[in-house]
């Protein structure tokens, strides 16, 4: 099925660079989980259940305590962890986890069940995080270090009819110019040459206007005045929570002087692909 493309014409505005935060699958070779995200589809009765497998990868017996907390992601993709029930879209009050403690011998596994009972707070979706927390010991050169290891599983709950939608709010090209000069002859006046864009980057701001977390992928094209493509690049996939923004930055190559059109097309898995474009001139 073909999808529509919505194009937004945007004024240039300088934005911050984006950074992506990723969580490791194994923490200190202690406990591992078979997935780092749990997606629950809430029925009309306000219930959903998800199970995950927890395995002890260490050579010692591990006992872990299960806790529920909240979390948020900032515009640059960094995670921030909060006490349960802190933000308006928290799932914490509706989540139940069984068992609340896990004790595993080396190489053994267990099943942990996450249940949702209620309704997503004030919206069609909510999110929290389930932590498995255990103490670990590291021995080296006769010394012993004890520390706490937390393995987190992000939990998302959404109704079956939750909307997926997004928009590009702003785009800008930031650059520093350098000059390429021809050799100067004794009879010449000031050296002549053509300037090119050096260390240029496209910066865009994407907003999730739907009800569920989006996984956004896309492409960036730089087109010449005759509509031929001077540059094309794939964007790394990035997540965006509902009602939140994400700043994305991608480098552009040096270009000869002239006028260009920069086009960004983003696919978030909805019925439409959103796009933004702006004019860009290299002087």
Q: What is the CATH number of domain 31-159?
A: 2.60.40.10
Mean pLDDT of 239-262: 94
Domains 4-18+164-282 and 31-159 share a fold: yes
The β-bridge partners of 117 are 47
**Lowest mean pLDDT across 2-11, 242-251, 261-270:** 2-11
- The structural domains of the chain, with segments of one domain joined by +, span 4-18+164-282, 31-159
Q: How do residues 70-123 score in pLDDT, each as one tens digit?
A: 999 999 999 999 999 999 999 999 999 999 999 999 999 999 999 998 765 557
Tokens linked to 200: 């240029």
Nearest to residue 177, comparing CAs of 262, 253, 282? Answer: 282
Q: How do residues 25-60 score in pLDDT, each as one tens digit?
A: 344 448 899 999 999 999 877 889 999 999 999 888
Q: How do residues 114-159 score in pLDDT, each as one tens digit?
A: 999 876 555 789 999 999 998 877 777 778 888 888 999 999 999 8
Mean pLDDT of 164-175: 93
Exposed e or buried b per residue across 42-75, where buried means at least 16 C-beta atoms within 10 angstroms of its C-beta: beeeeebebebebbbebeeebebebebbbbbbeb
Q: How do residues 217-242 score in pLDDT, each as one tens digit?
A: 999 999 999 999 999 999 999 999 99
Cα 13 to Cα 145: distance, rounded to the nearest angstrom: 49
Q: How do residues 179-221 score in pLDDT, each as one tens digit?
A: 444 444 444 444 444 444 467 899 999 999 999 999 999 999 9
User: 4-18+164-282: what CATH class?
Assistant: mainly beta
| Residue reference for tokens 């006028």 | 259
pLDDT of residue 121: 53
Cα 206 to Cα 76: distance, rounded to the nearest angstrom: 11
pLDDT of residue 122: 56
**227 phi and psi, to 5 degrees?**
75, 5
Q: Are 229 and 252 in contact (CB under 8 A)?
A: no
> DSSP secondary structure string, 249-277?
EEEE----SEEEEEEEEEE-SSSEEEEEE
Mean pLDDT of 242-271: 94
Nearest to residue 261, comparing CAs of 226, 232, 230, 224? Answer: 224
């Amino acid at each position: 099925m073909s999808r529509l493309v919505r194009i937004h014409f945007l004024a240039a505005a300088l934005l911050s660079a984006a950074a992506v935060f990723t969580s490791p699958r194994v923490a200190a070779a202690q406990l591992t989980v078979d997935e780092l995200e749990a997606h629950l589809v809430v029925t009309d009765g306000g219930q959903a259940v998800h199970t995950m497998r927890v395995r002890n990868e260490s050579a010692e017996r591990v006992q872990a305590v299960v806790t529920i907390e909240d979390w948020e992601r900032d515009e640059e993709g960094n995670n921030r962890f909060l006490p349960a029930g802190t933000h308006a879209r928290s799932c914490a009050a509706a989540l139940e986890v069984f068992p609340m403690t896990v004790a595993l011998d080396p190489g053994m596994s267990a099943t942990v069940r996450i249940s949702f009972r209620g309704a997503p707070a004030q919206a069609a979706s909510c999110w929290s995080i389930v932590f498995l927390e255990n103490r670990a010991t590291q021995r080296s050169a006769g010394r012993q270090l004890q520390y706490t290891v937390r393995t987190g599983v992000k939990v998302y709950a959404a109704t079956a009819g939750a909307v997926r939608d997004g928009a590009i709010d702003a785009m800008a090209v930031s650059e520093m110019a350098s000059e390429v000069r021809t050799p100067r002859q004794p009879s010449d006046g000031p050296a002549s040459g053509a300037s090119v864009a050096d260390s240029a980057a496209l910066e865009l701001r994407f907003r999730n206007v739907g009800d569920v977390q989006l996984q956004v992928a896309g492409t960036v094209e730089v087109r010449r005045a005759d509509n031929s493509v001077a540059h094309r690049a794939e964007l790394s996939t990035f997540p965006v929570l509902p009602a939140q923004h994400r700043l994305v930055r991608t480098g552009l190559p040096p270009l000869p002087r002239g006028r260009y059109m920069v086009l960004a097309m983003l696919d978030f898995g909805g019925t439409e692909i959103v796009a933004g474009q702006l004019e860009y001139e290299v002087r």
